[in-house]
Structure 1
Amino acid sequence: MAELKTVARPYAKAVFEVAREQGHIAEWSNMLNTLAVVTMEPKLKKALGNTAFSAEEKASALADVCAEVTTEQGKAFLLTLAVNNRLTLIPAISELFSQFKLNFEKAVNVKFTTAFELTAEQAQTLAASLSKKLDRTVNLTSETDASLIGGVVIRTGDLIIDGSVRGKLAKLSEAINS
Structure 2
Amino acid sequence: MALSREEIVARYGNALFNYAQDMNALDTVKEELCELRKAVCTNPQILSVFSDPILNSDEKKKSLSAIEQDFSTEVQTFLNLLLDYNHFLELVDIIDFFNKLYNDSKKIMVGTAITAVKLDEDQLSALGDSYAKKFGLASVTLENKVDPEIIGGVILKVGDCVIDGSVKNRLKKIRAQLISKN
The TM-score, its normalising length taken from structure 1, stands at 0.76
Percent identity, please.
23
Contact 1:148 1:165 in 2 (8 A): yes
Alpha-carbon shift at residue 92 of structure 1 (Å): 0.9
Alpha-carbon shift at residue 164 of structure 1 (Å): 1.9
Between 98-107 and 156-165, the greater mean CA deviation after superposition? 156-165
Alpha-carbon shift at residue 136 of structure 1 (Å): 0.8
User: In 1, distance between residues paired with 2:20 and 2:67?
Assistant: 22
Contact 1:110 1:156 in 2 (8 A): yes
Are 1:50 and 2:52 matched, yes or no?
Answer: yes
User: In 1, distance between residues paired with 2:107 and 2:114?
Assistant: 23
User: In 1, distance between residues paired with 2:140 and 2:91?
Assistant: 24
Alpha-carbon shift at residue 140 of structure 1 (Å): 3.3
Q: Where does structure 1 lack aligned partners over 5 or more consecutive residues?
A: none
Aligned twin of 1:115: 116
User: In 2, distance between residues paired with 1:84 and 1:114?
Assistant: 45
Q: Select the structure of larger CA radius of gyration.
A: 2
Are 1:140 and 2:134 matched, yes or no?
Answer: no
Alpha-carbon shift at residue 107 of structure 1 (Å): 1.9
Q: 1:74 to 1:116 in 2, by over 3 A?
A: closer
Q: Secondary structure at the match of 1:160?
A: strand
Between 140-149 and 45-54, the greater mean CA deviation after superposition? 140-149
Q: 1:60 to 1:35 in 2, by over 3 A?
A: farther
Contact 2:109 2:139 in 1 (8 A): yes
Q: 1:81 to 1:128 in 2, by over 3 A?
A: closer
Alpha-carbon shift at residue 29 of structure 1 (Å): 0.9
Contact 1:56 1:83 in 2 (8 A): no
Alpha-carbon shift at residue 157 of structure 1 (Å): 2.5
User: In 2, distance between residues paired with 1:63 and 1:153?
Assistant: 46
User: In 2, distance between residues paired with 1:14 and 1:122?
Assistant: 34
The TM-score, its normalising length taken from structure 2, stands at 0.75
Q: 1:51 to 1:160 in 2, by over 3 A?
A: same
Q: Give 1:51's aligned amino acid.
A: P
Q: Where does structure 2 lack aligned partners over 5 or more consecutive residues?
A: none
Contact 2:153 2:167 in 1 (8 A): yes
Alpha-carbon shift at residue 20 of structure 1 (Å): 1.5
Q: Give 2:51's aligned amino acid.
A: G
Cα RMSD for the two superposed structures: 3.1
Q: 1:18 to 1:61 in 2, by over 3 A?
A: same
Q: Secondary structure at the match of 2:97?
A: helix
Q: Secondary structure at the match of 1:161?
A: strand
